[in-house]
């Protein structure tokens, strides 16, 4: 049988931190070219522009080991753009480890958790400026990841989903009403970090990259619909016995106006807390309940800008106060 890579990837390091729950890794290189043509000719030539390099990682979240944001030194969407070195390490048949490294910045990040499997984070790294893939120093010793595999976060580990509601997004000192959601099926959060290249005359590779603000952030919950109480979602009242589907609150004194409602949201996992400090409820949808007897669920979607933060300690006690993290 010919030699090939099979379960040979040993570990992925972000900065100086070895990720403990890596599930998959991908790397890609794209050469950007531009066609050039002229009058009087049907032909064209291609002009070399630059390279786009990416590394994508899916990592399981754990109670006791660092996630990618911690390894990259990020605490919120507002702190995006810092350079970090990503290292992929393989082991050869001779016992020597081979390294591939890339100086990069995070271009997208998301976390997701459902009733099956572990909670995971997915992240894409882009090369920073003129950085390219390079071979690290061969070695034989591997670092020891923090935390045992039993620390992975799964369905029983989920701590809950908290929220707070304010009826005036422009109030500098708003009053927040807090609550919790129950019977969750899945939760997710993401941020899409746009980047722009900095080019200079005299070289084809980019001189650098910078993050373009604002950064779009989002969060989503899916819950079982309770036909008795209707307490499936944020801001619903006891009159909503079959669950409401309004993504915006209506002014009862003026049915043609919407209330300027703002939400604080918080996904709570052991040592992994993801929140938004000033979000809008942008959509509510119902699914399931077909002729096959599928369960009915309600999906609520929130969105904001520069507004996804990460904490290792639970900030729930501050969700109605000024101490709640502001991104």
Token pair for residue 85?
């070195």
Q: Are 184 and 49 in contact (CB under 8 A)?
A: no
Q: How far apart are CA 307 and CA 327, in angstroms?
A: 5
Per-residue pLDDT at 240 exceeds 90? no
Most confident of 76-85, 152-161, 163-172, 203-212: 152-161
Check whether 239 has a pLDDT greater than 50.
no
- Give the confidence band of 12 by pLDDT, cuts at 50, 70, 90: very high
List the beta strands (DSSP E) in the chain: 9-14, 17-18, 22-36, 45-60, 84-91, 97-113, 120-127, 134-135, 160-166, 177-181, 184-192, 195-198, 208-211, 216-224, 262-269, 272-287, 297-305, 309-311
Which DSSP string do the residues of 38-64 spell out, in sequence order?
A: -TT-S--EEEEEEEEEEEEEEEE-BTT
Confidence of residue 241 (pLDDT cuts 50, 70, 90): very low
Checking if the pLDDT of 99 tops 80, the result is yes
Q: Count the Cβ atoms, other than its own, within 10 Å of residue 60.
A: 21
pLDDT, tens digit, 9 for 90 and up, residues 279-325: 999 988 888 878 887 788 889 999 999 999 999 999 999 999 988 99
Q: Is 114 left (phi over 0), alpha (psi -120 to 50) or beta?
A: beta
Average pLDDT, the chain: 85
What's the pLDDT score for residue 242?
52
Q: What is the DSSP letter of 32?
A: E
Q: What is the pLDDT of residue 203?
A: 87
The more confident residue out of 199 and 244 is: 199
Bigger pLDDT: 234 vs 187: 187
Q: Summarize pLDDT for 252-264 with one digit per residue, the tens.
A: 565 566 777 899 9
User: How many percent of the chain have pLDDT more than 90?
Assistant: 47
3-state SS class at 151: helix
Mean pLDDT of the 125-143 span: 84
Q: How confident is the model at residue 9 (pLDDT cuts 50, 70, 90)?
A: confident
Q: Which of 77, 86, 78 has its CA nearest to residue 56?
A: 86
Longest Cα separation, the chain: 77
Q: Which one is predicted more confidently, 24 or 97?
A: 24
In the predicted model, is pLDDT for residue 177 greater than 70? yes
Tell me: pLDDT of 234 over 60: no
- Average pLDDT in the 74-88 region? 86
- The pLDDT-based confidence of 251 (bands split at 50, 70, 90) is low
3-state secondary structure 236-248: CCCCCCCCCCCCC
For the segment 188-217, the average pLDDT, to the nearest whole number, is: 90
Predicted confidence (pLDDT) at residue 93 exceeds the cutoff of 70: yes
Sign of the CA dihedral running 35, 36, 39, 42: negative
Residue 14: pLDDT over 90: yes
H/E element, 201 = none
SS3 317: helix
- State the Cα–Cα distance between residues 19 and 7, nearest whole angstrom: 16
Residue 245: what pLDDT? 61
The model's pLDDT over 35-58, given as tens digits with 9 standing for 90+, comes to 999 999 888 999 888 889 999 999
What is the per-residue pLDDT for 115? 95
pLDDT at 236 over 50: no
In percent, the amount of the chain with pLDDT more than 70 equals 87
Kindly tell me if the per-residue pLDDT of 227 is higher than 90.
no
CA distance 40 to 268: 65
- Is the pLDDT assigned to residue 136 strictly greater than 50? yes
Q: What is the pLDDT of residue 184?
A: 93
């Amino acid at each position: 049988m010919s030699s090939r890579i099979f379960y040979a990837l040993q570990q992925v390091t972000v900065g100086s931190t070895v990720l403990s729950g890596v599930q998959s890794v991908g790397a890609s290189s794209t050469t950007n070219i531009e066609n050039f043509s002229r009058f009087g000719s049907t032909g064209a030539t291609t002009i070399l522009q630059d390279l786009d390099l990416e590394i994508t990682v899916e990592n399981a979240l754990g109670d006791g080991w660092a996630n990618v944001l911690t390894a990259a030194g990020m605490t919120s969407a507002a702190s995006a753009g810092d350079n970090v070195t990503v290292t992929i390490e393989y082991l050869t048949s001779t016992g020597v480890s081979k390294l591939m490294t890339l100086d990069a910045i995070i271009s997208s990040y998301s976390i997701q958790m459902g009733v099956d499997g572990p909670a995971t984070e997915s992240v894409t790294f882009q090369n920073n400026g003129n950085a390219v893939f390079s071979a690290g120093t061969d070695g034989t010793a591997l670092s020891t990841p923090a935390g045992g595999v039993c620390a992975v976060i799964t369905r029983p580990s989920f701590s809950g989903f908290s929220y707070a509601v304010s009826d005036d997004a422009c109030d500098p000192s708003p009053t927040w009403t807090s609550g919790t959601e129950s019977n969750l099926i899945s939760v997710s959060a993401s941020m899409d970090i746009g980047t722009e290249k900095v080019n200079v005359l005299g070289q084809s590779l980019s001189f650098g990259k910078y993050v373009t603000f604002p950064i779009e952030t989002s969060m989503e919950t899916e819950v079982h619909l309770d036909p008795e109480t209707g307490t499936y979602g944020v801001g619903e009242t006891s009159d909503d016995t079959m669950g409401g589907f309004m993504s915006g609150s209506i002014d009862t004194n003026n049915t043609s106006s919407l209330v300027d409602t703002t939400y604080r949201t918080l996904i709570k996992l052991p040592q992994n807390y993801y929140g938004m400090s000033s979000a809008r409820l942008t959509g509510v949808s119902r699914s399931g309940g077909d002729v096959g007897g599928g369960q009915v669920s309600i999906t609520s979607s929130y969105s904001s800008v520069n507004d996804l933060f990460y904490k290792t300690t639970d900030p729930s006690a501050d969700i109605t106060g000024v101490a709640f993290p502001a991104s």
